[in-house]
Amino acid sequence: MKDLYALCQITKQGHYQMLRRAEEWKAKESLYVGLILQIRELHPAMGLRTMYDYYQPEGIGRDSFISIGIYYGFRVKVFRNLCRTTFSSPYSRYKNLLVDKILIDINQLWTSDLTYFKVHDKFYYIVLILDVYSRFIVGYSVSDNMRAENNIIALRMALKTRKQKKFNFKLIHHSDRGSQYISETYVNLLKEAEIDISMCNEVYENAHIERVNGTIKNQYLIYRNITNFDELKTELERTIYAYNHDRPHSALMGLTPFAFEQYIKELNNENKPNLPIWTCDYSKNINPNQTILQF
């Protein structure tokens, strides 16, 4: 063995130190993989970078942590949406109120949309209402149809979540021009709560809620073993809670929506982060193909 050590230009002590470090690293690696598995149980498609930044595991750098995750097959899969859920009404009389809008607090802009989730060969439909400033999902519903009554359930939940009967027209409700959003009952609920009504001219003007829809479906629900409608309702409730309370957002200073809302309660309006929103202003004859919606 002395000749072999000499040939490799290492000492016996150095060799055993290397073996010990390899064993220690293997044990650490198992801990990191276990951490990833625990996090993925709650957040099935949380990215490795987000995971590292939020949980800050000790004893490892971000690149090494990501490399371990990739090595063990924890890349996030991408799914495509194939089902149409928006059937717009050409008679919508509500304009887009978000042009040059700047948010400085919660309850200034809620946005809503309808998406689908397929269980075996049956489609179910999920309605979400999001407070754009904090990314907090304030209302939701799920059903086997796209009738307006399901949007009404989500809206009533949002009003209950915020524990406020009147918003004095300081809150905008923004949606596409789907027929559910111009139903008499839905519109009356908004008017009774003194909420301004805003609607898209183009689909990309509702990009934020579209992105959240994709997150809920493709980073959570699609990974659950959902076999029937009751299981879908249970998993949706679990997912919404996880999204609101346990999922960090880089745009919220790395906080979860719930934690961010608690944080801004302690701030004066002048110290709260501003969230500018740009949309196409059709009254100025701007080419929509050259305009990008940003949040």
User: Model confidence over 39-49: pLDDT tens digits?
Assistant: 766 777 677 77
Q: Inform me whether the pLDDT recorded for 178 exceeds 90.
A: no
Question: Angle at CA 112, nearest 5°, toward 176 and 148?
Answer: 80
Q: Which region, left, alpha or beta, applies to residue 59 given φ > 0 means left and ψ of -120 to 50 means alpha?
A: left
Nearest alpha carbon to residue 147 among 185, 109, 103: 185
Count CA atoms closer than 13 A to 267's CA, side-chain side.
Answer: 14
User: Using CA atoms, how far apart are residues 245 and 240, in angstroms rounded to an integer?
Assistant: 8
Q: Residue 156: which residues within 8 A CB-CB, separation 6 or more?
A: 139, 189
- pLDDT confidence band for 25 (50 / 70 / 90): low
Count CA atoms closer than 13 A to 232's CA, side-chain side.
Answer: 21
Q: Inform me whether the pLDDT recorded for 64 exceeds 60.
A: yes
pTM: 0.70
Handedness of CA 62, 63, 65, 66 (dihedral sign): positive
Please tell me the predicted confidence (pLDDT) of residue 287.
40
- For residues 193-200, average pLDDT: 94
User: Model confidence over 85-108: pLDDT tens digits?
Assistant: 444 444 557 888 988 889 999 999
Q: Residue 187: which residues within 8 A CB-CB, separation 6 or more?
A: 181, 197
The Cβ of residue 60 has, within 10 Å, a number of other Cβ atoms equal to: 18
Using CB atoms within 10 Å of the CB of residue 153, give its burial: 0 to 12 exposed, 13 to 18 middle, 19+ buried. middle
Using CB atoms within 10 Å of the CB of residue 177, give its burial: 0 to 12 exposed, 13 to 18 middle, 19+ buried. buried
Please tell me the predicted confidence (pLDDT) of residue 294.
38
Please tell me the predicted confidence (pLDDT) of residue 59.
73
Report the mean per-residue pLDDT for the chain: 80
